Amino acid sequence: MTTASGRSERSYHVFMGARPALGVVARPGHLYSRAALPEGMTAPTHPFIDGVSHDPLYEHRLRQLLLASSDFDDFVRRLVDDGFDVASNRGESVWTLRQEPRRLMRSGQVIAAMWPCEGQLSATTWQPEPDVDVYPHALVTAYVPELIDELRSALQATTRFDALVARLELPL
Amino acid sequence: MPENEQQSRTSSQPATSSSPSGSEQSTAGSSMASKLRGKSFAEGEAMLSPVQRLVNAPPPEGGVAADASAPASTPAPTTAPGATTAPGATPAPGATPAPAPTSALPAPPTLLTVTQVAALSFVDMQTYLATRPAQGAVLRTQDAFLAAVGAFSIDQMATIALAIILRTPDQVVDKVGATAEAMRILRSQMANKEILTNLLKNEVRVVIVPQTALMTDLPEFAAQKDTYTFDGRPWDTTRGLGGQNTAIAEENLMGTDPDSGASTTRLGWDSQAAMDTARTTDAAAMPVAGGAGVATFNPGVYCSGYSTTNHEFFHTVHSYGLNATDQGTLTSEYATKRAKASPPPASATPAPATAPGTTPATPAPAPVATPSVYDTEWADGPRRLSDGSPSDNYSSTNEYEYFAQTGCAFQGTNNGTDPYTGRPRNNGRSWVTANDPGLASLLSKVCSTAELRDVNPREARARALATPAPAPAPAPAPGGATPAPSGATPAPAPVPTPGSAPTPTVGSLAPAGAQVGSGAVGAIVGR
């Protein structure tokens, strides 16, 4: 699996459907809400994520998931299990990515999410440098990291999103 | 292509049509639309049939839309075919339906179609929306309506947008004053038609939170009652929120205090650790009075001259008003600013050592200051604590606060002290232009040409209450003689109101020294 190098601090956009929900980086940081901070108050620190909420509707749920998580990977896994989708953050505005992702299912399990826009191939446990593994027709996140090579092959073999979907959704 | 034809086509697009018959209705209405365009209500009324005049009549209180095709004397509680349906006209499930009007009563009026509304003049559209506020929620997503509103002047378009976007609940203590002030501030951030169109299409709402109520008492935020923010605060006591549903606080508009009693105070965990500890034994544990790690949260207040309305609406504009290009520009401006290193200010550079009482023959060269990302000035100052150690400030924490705080500085509403560094905030359009030219360019697109004045006028209110007004001039005596001063106790000065709109005194008023808020949030500071 060609995932030897990767970012030291993974960074993801988190969506619920097409709605941006959270920006999260794998490093000790702060938790930022969309609610106004009272005068004199600062954002609390967190030991393993730096997170910025994008939508008040999901803050309580995201907090519950975070409180139940033991580390960053556990948090991301819980996000996906709870119906959120994660996409590699390459420094673009999350508000430019408001599209419903296509969830790739196999044997009843969600194994990847794909967006019909330029973006990066990454996994929930691994993320390349921002300018590596970028494809013009799809942004893809492998929720099962072992599938990263298969997803890369499919991305390299296609030039359109619908072709990528067709290739990956073929019965095995 | 004639304008009305264009409107007819856009309004018939399936994605935005309000009803299955909307396209037919829109097309049919286009000829009337062309006749009505540019006419006053009175002129238009004269051109209408009796039924159409009925349609134009103001609805009764809680009125129900009528069928425009029915005879005027026939009670018809259904909506006209193709007309947009006002959500407010639909009874809640389980509610007792209103009795059907009897034939002795005039038929309730119906709602105009999208095309008919789009054909109204500015004044008539303003009047129409004022009498049918619920229909704005439907019209705002219709292309024909947006095209018509977009053809108005920017001031007129902002007025129509505010009529649809802004809601003042009945519980607001000073409805007139708070609404006027909210409109003054929001209007200053509505200088671009594309942004206004996006705010309408994206179904943004701005709600004034009454100073006597919780944010979550309002239906727009009721789903968040008894839940927590991502950073662990009870949603109930938050007093501002920028998003698709934006909350702005009455007390910040009027420079007053929120009610500090039970209606706006809630218990919460004073830290995440406290919550974690409590939930090790009970995963659903909630804070109780006197419990370990439990603090009382109250809304607190913001210093005089700092507008949370301005701040929160910048968040709204960021997420739901800017186009993708501008959103990308904002993201890259933030990343560039984070990476920008600047030399420390001269006052922070140590002077060369000189023996006391001596003057060096040749001035020693000043030590070369090493540029640092922590010395770059943001809207909330440098990223250093007062002792020089690195920190963030509110405006540097993320791109939302970067845009909102720099926006407030651009508007002149960024008074006060940064909670992270304790340093004074920067303020004023000239500061932003000099220190953040890229963002100043974007903010010039968003904002009107002048800075805002007198927002959150807490100090002015307190001063006015403390300073007796001069005695009113006595009435001239008969014959023109001026009576001598009576020496009576002067009447209190009128309390100033934000902006220039005079409003009555409202709510509880704080002394001048009470507005700085670290004490207002008690144990939650710096956790």
Query: What ipTM does this complex have?
Result: 0.94
* Nearest-5° Cα angle at A111, A105 to A117: 90
- The verdict on A62 touching B (C-beta cutoff 8 Å) is yes
| Nearest-angstrom CA–CA distance, B47 and B63 | 25
- From B472's Cα to the closest Cα of chain A, the distance in A is 39
Chain B residue whose CA is closest to A20: B319
User: Of the candidates B229, B420, B520, which has its C-beta nearest A42's C-beta?
Assistant: B420
The string of pLDDT tens digits covering residues B216-264 is: 999 999 999 989 999 988 898 888 999 999 999 998 999 887 665 545 5
| Nearest-angstrom CA–CA distance, A8 and A64 | 26
- The verdict on A56 touching B (C-beta cutoff 8 Å) is yes
- The verdict on A131 touching B (C-beta cutoff 8 Å) is no
The reported pLDDT for the residue numbered B127 is 92
Task: Please say if the pLDDT value at position B332 is more than 80.
Answer: yes
The reported pLDDT for the residue numbered B147 is 98
Q: Which of B199, B218, B231 to mutate to test the interface with A (most CBs of A within 10 A)?
A: B231
CB-based contact A93 B327, cutoff 8 Å: yes
Mean pLDDT of chain B: 71
Task: Please say if the pLDDT value at position B490 is more than 70.
Answer: no
The reported pLDDT for the residue numbered B111 is 84
User: Of the candidates B238, B245, B419, which has its C-beta nearest A40's C-beta?
Assistant: B419
Chain B residue whose CA is closest to A59: B230
- From B464's Cα to the closest Cα of chain A, the distance in A is 24
| Nearest-angstrom CA–CA distance, A1 and B103 | 79
Quick one: tokens of B500?
């220039």
The string of pLDDT tens digits covering residues B293-329 is: 777 665 567 788 889 999 999 999 999 999 999 999 9
Beta strands at A109-115 and A139-142: parallel, antiparallel or unpaired:
antiparallel
The reported pLDDT for the residue numbered A144 is 94
The string of pLDDT tens digits covering residues B377-388 is: 999 999 999 889
Q: What percent of chain B has pLDDT over 90?
A: 43
- The verdict on B272 touching A (C-beta cutoff 8 Å) is yes
Quick one: tokens of B154?
């920017």
- The verdict on B227 touching A (C-beta cutoff 8 Å) is yes
A160 versus B45: the higher-pLDDT residue is A160
- The verdict on A27 touching B (C-beta cutoff 8 Å) is no
The parts of chain A modelled with pLDDT lower than 50 are 1, 172
The string of pLDDT tens digits covering residues B2-34 is: 333 333 333 333 333 333 333 323 323 333 334
Tell me which residue of B159, B70, B79 sits closest to B121, measured CA to CA: B159
- The verdict on B239 touching A (C-beta cutoff 8 Å) is yes
The string of pLDDT tens digits covering residues B81-136 is: 334 333 333 333 444 444 444 445 444 457 899 999 999 999 999 999 998 888 99
Per DSSP, the three-state class of B300 is coil
Tell me which residue of B174, B265, B262 sits closest to B461, measured CA to CA: B174
